[in-house]
Amino acid sequence: MSIRPAASRAVRAAFAILLVLASASSLSAAAKPRPKKKPPVRAVPHDYAHAVAILHTERGDVTIRFFFDRAPNHVKNFVDLAASGFYDGTLFHRVIPGFVLQGGDPLTKDPKNAFVWGNAGKTDAKGLPVTLKPEFNETAHKRGIVSMARSSAPDSASSQFFIVLKDYPSLDHQYTAFGEVVKGMDVVDRIVAESNPDPANANLGRPRAYQKLVKVDIVEESAAPAATPAPAKKG
C-alpha cells in the first residue's frame, strides 16, 4: 500500500521537526559543563610526637599518650592502624587480672574466628604478616603502661597491644613500651572486671564476657578531651 503524497509530506515534516528537536537537545547537552572530577582524598600526615589515642570502649573512654621519642616505629604503627579503623570493633581477647588487658587482634571482629583469636595481626596486600623490629627502652612496665604484644620472637610484634594492670618488672626490656594510659584506668579496671575471665584458663586469660573496643580516635595532645567516666553497673 502506497502512501499518499499529502500524507508523505506530513511524515517528512514530522521527521524534520524531530531532527531539529534532537539537534537542539544535543547542542544543549554539549553546552552543559561536564562535572569536574573530585581530587583524590589525601591522608593528612599525623604529628606522631603529639598524637593521643582515645579508646572508646563499651565501658567508657581510655586516653593513651605515646612515647614517640622512645619507640617511634611502634607509635607510628599504632597511630596509622587506629586512624585507618583497624582497631574499631575488635575485642579485648586476653584478660589476666593483676597482669594485662590485651587486644588488637583483627580476627576478633568475626565470631566465626573465635577458635584462633589472639593469633593474628597486621598483614600486607598479599595477606602476609607485617611485623616490627623491637624498640626496647628504659620504660618500666608499671600499671597503666601500654606495650606491644609479641610471640617468642622479638621481632614479631604487629598490631596486638596490652595495658599493664600491675607493676611487672619482668616485662622490662622484653616488650616494647610505647605509651601510657593518662586517663581512664578506672575504665580499664572495669573492662577487666566485666570480662569475667575463666580462672580455669588463667594463662590464656580467656574472657567469659568479651568487651569491645568500639572505636579509636587519634587527636593532637592539646585537643584531647577528658575521658568519659565509666557507666554505672546495672543491677
The torsion angles phi and psi of 38, rounded to 5 degrees, stand at: -70, 135
> Starting at the edge strand that comes first in sequence, how are the strands of the sheet with 90-92 ordered?
90-92, 211-220, 51-57, 60-66, 177-183, 145-148, 161-164, 100-103, 94-96
Supply the pLDDT for residue 119.
Answer: 77
Supply the pLDDT for residue 3.
Answer: 37
Q: What is the mean pLDDT of the chain?
A: 81
Percent of the chain with pLDDT over 70: 74
User: Taking 70 as the threshold, does the pLDDT of residue 60 lie above it?
Assistant: yes
Q: Using one digit for the tens of pLDDT, what is the confidence trace for 67-101?
A: 999 999 999 999 999 999 999 999 999 999 999 99
Q: Using one digit for the tens of pLDDT, what is the confidence trace for 125-181?
A: 887 888 899 999 999 999 999 999 998 888 998 999 999 999 999 999 999 999 999
Residue with cell 598479599: 126
Average pLDDT over residues 29-38: 49
- Extended strands (E) in the chain: 51-57, 60-66, 90-92, 94-96, 100-103, 145-148, 161-164, 177-183, 211-220
d(CA 114, CA 211): 14
Q: What does DSSP assign to residue 97?
A: T
pTM of the predicted structure, to 2 decimals = 0.75
Q: Are 195 and 211 spatial neighbours (Cβ–Cβ below 8 Å)? A: yes
